[in-house]
């Protein structure tokens, strides 16, 4: 299974990688393989790349297939390798945000992303591989725009910022912060 997943990833056949990962999920999760973490990273990335490919095929149009692909990747990551969840979650949020009818769902994903960061146990919050500072900034800005600027009943800015003190502090103290 490991070799098949690696093969499909290198061939950029992400839909087959997803199929194999779901079919053999129990086996993968129980594996004691020395490179299990690498395989889990390939799978998590493969789910994300598969969803992004489906999104490109349906560019500019909301697609249930794309939505399901992103959901599936987020769910898989939470079950098997939470380290890749922020990466999958933020891409899902960005995709949803492109559709006016799905802004609320996008905000939920942005909030999931920020909650994941806020509740993480990592010493360094932003690592540029799984958790990028610009994604956190974009998530906060998107929430502010939708809940304050474009809202008929604006939310208090401090109530938004106070939900994520660790994230806000990390952004404020980071040299790469914008």
Position 21 scores a pLDDT of 96
Read off the pLDDT of each residue in 114-130 and give the average, rounded to a whole number.
88
Q: Which residue has the tokens 């692909």?
A: 69
State pLDDT tens for residues 13-29: 999 999 999 999 999 99
Position 176 scores a pLDDT of 76
Other beta carbons within 10 angstroms of residue 113's beta carbon come to 27
- Residue 151 structure tokens: 């809202």
Cβ contact 134:169 at 8 Å: no
Read off the pLDDT of each residue in 150-166 and give the average, rounded to a whole number.
92
**Mean pLDDT across the chain, nearest whole number?**
93
pLDDT at 110 over 80: yes
Other beta carbons within 10 angstroms of residue 122's beta carbon come to 12
- Residue 89 structure tokens: 């979650």
Q: Which residue has the tokens 């906060």?
A: 140
Q: What is the pTM of this model?
A: 0.93
Chain centre distance of CA 23 = 22
* Distance (Å) of CA 137 to CA 13, 113, 126, 167, 174: 32, 11, 11, 9, 12
State pLDDT tens for residues 41-74: 999 999 999 999 999 999 989 999 999 999 999 9
Would you place residue 4 in the very low, low, confident or very high pLDDT band (cuts 50, 70, 90)?
very high
Q: CB neighbours of 124 closer than 8 A, spacing ≥ 6? A: none
């Amino acid at each position: 299974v490991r070799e098949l997943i690696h093969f499909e990833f290198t061939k950029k056949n992400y839909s087959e990688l997803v199929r194999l990962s779901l079919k053999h999920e129990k086996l993968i999760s129980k594996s004691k393989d020395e490179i299990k973490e690498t395989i889990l990273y390939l799978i998590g990335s493969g789910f994300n790349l598969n969803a992004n490919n489906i999104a490109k095929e349906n560019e500019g149009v909301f697609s249930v297939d794309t939505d399901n692909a992103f959901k599936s990747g987020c769910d898989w990551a939470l079950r098997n390798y939470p380290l890749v969840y922020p990466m999958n979650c933020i891409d899902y949020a960005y995709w949803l945000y492109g559709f006016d009818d799905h802004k609320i769902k996008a905000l939920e994903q942005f909030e999931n992303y920020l909650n994941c960061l806020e509740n993480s146990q990592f010493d360094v919050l932003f690592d540029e591989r799984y958790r990028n500072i610009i994604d956190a900034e974009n998530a906060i800005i998107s929430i502010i725009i939708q809940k304050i600027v474009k809202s008929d009943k604006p939310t208090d800015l401090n109530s938004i910022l106070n939900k994520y003190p660790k994230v806000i502090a990390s952004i404020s103290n980071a040299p790469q912060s914008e």
